[in-house]
Homo-oligomer: A and B are copies of this chain.
């Protein structure tokens, strides 16, 4: 493919439910890190230019990279770069099929440089997940009474994607903080998330037997232990932030705890779950209630993850506000995609019971908007999320930009 300036859509796996709606755009042949006027948010895209053998090799390599799978997911949309080829070299590559050695060398160097700054979300997320898993493992050792700790560890270390910790760490790093500073807060987000899954799965709630491809906590350990494991994880989340954040000032810790508390309680995910349960089987439930449920049940904890990471990292009020808006869009997106996946994937693919929303005639975006409009809504949310990051250093913002795509294009 040889072209001049053009918008390029990232190739998405044919199995993606959002195929053809990927919001990536870029203007090729720009200088590295240049603002991309053609892009939706001026931030983010894939270079596609040159027919030179070197750049062919490069893009072949990039395509190979695209075909890699992250945790069973195509990572097509999660690998991106900011370094573009120069207009001059790209024009030469477009004009002359046979390129002189000098130009080849130049392109080789540029391609090398491009490889250097390519943001590899897969590696980033794997590295963060590994660090988070190690920190969680350490935070909840298997000690007396063994049963409760085994139950907590069973759900906590069940191999989730660690999206919330990743968002927390990425936000902290974006504003100048470190992974080390963010880690206790990042772990707390996963503890709270795990608690909400354990309690939501209980017979008196969603009554689910399967979670992440394994028996739910109460199936494995009994209802009493499952309730208590959730309580212990919830309590530990706050204790861990307060006790383990050795390099974070007390002022910041206090703000993080208030933020997290609000995201969980009767104005947070508990409120979402309550309204969700009350809405079950109610055919009159409309978009407003649906959005209330999704925002409260899911989005607020993602928002708390991002905002808390930013607070730990020392973000200004303005930065916190932008990241909060980013997180709100990403948070709602997360649940919209969940709704879509519930009707497009199998239980095996999801690692949890699929099609439950249909069975229970639950209000979902696909039910209220239709599948296609739900996908459009998801794309709009990705766009809005990224827009909030436009004023940040784009290289530093790469993880959060990538995470928005990851959440949009995940397959489970």
Contacts and interface: CB of A to CB of B under 8 A. Distances in A.
Interface string A74-97: 000000000000000000000000
Nearest to A223: B204
Contact of A242 (B145, B243, B261, B265): B261
A261 B235 contact: yes
Nearest to A205: B224
Most buried by B among A205, A229, A230, A265: A265
Interface stretch (A62-70, A274-282, A376-384): A274-282
Closest 6 CB pairs of A and B: A239-B261, A250-B250, A204-B223, A235-B264, A242-B257, A232-B266
A147 B274 contact: yes
Contact of A254 (B148, B204, B222, B250): B250
Interface in A218-236: 222-225, 227-232, 234-236
A301 to B, nearest CB: 11
A33 interface: no
A199 B229 CA distance: 12
Interface in A267-290: 268, 270-271, 273-275, 277-278
Interface in A235-269: 235-236, 238-243, 249-251, 253-255, 257-258, 260-262, 264-266, 268
B274 A261 contact: no
Contacts of A227: 199, 202, 204-205, 227
14 contacts: A145-B266, A145-B271, A152-B266, A199-B228, A202-B224, A204-B222, A232-B264, A232-B265, A238-B238, A238-B260, A238-B261, A239-B265, A240-B261, A250-B253
A273 B278 CA distance: 30
A32 B87 CA distance: 94
Contacts of A228: 199, 270, 273-274
A211 interface: no
Contacts of A254: 242, 250, 253-254
A124 to B, nearest CB: 30
Given A227-B205, A228-B274, A266 B236 contact: yes
A149 interface: yes
A351 B227 CA distance: 25
A94 to B, nearest CB: 59
Interface in A365-384: none
B230 A145 contact: no
Interface of A: 140, 144-145, 147-149, 152, 195, 199, 202, 204-205, 222-225, 227-232, 234-236, 238-243, 249-251, 253-255, 257-258, 260-262, 264-266, 268, 270-271, 273-275, 277-278
A222 B205 CA distance: 10
Given A204-B223, A257-B257, A274 B234 contact: no
A16 to B, nearest CB: 35
Contact of A275 (B145, B236, B242): B145
A223 to B, nearest CB: 4
Contacts of A204: 222-224, 227
Contacts of A149: 266
Contacts of A140: 266
Contact of A232 (B224, B249, B257, B270): B270
Contacts of A266: 140, 145, 148-149, 152, 229, 232, 236
Nearest to A240: B261
B250 A145 contact: no
A74 B89 CA distance: 94
Contacts of A236: 261, 265-266
A260 B253 CA distance: 15
B145 A274 contact: yes
A278 B144 CA distance: 13
A341 to B, nearest CB: 24
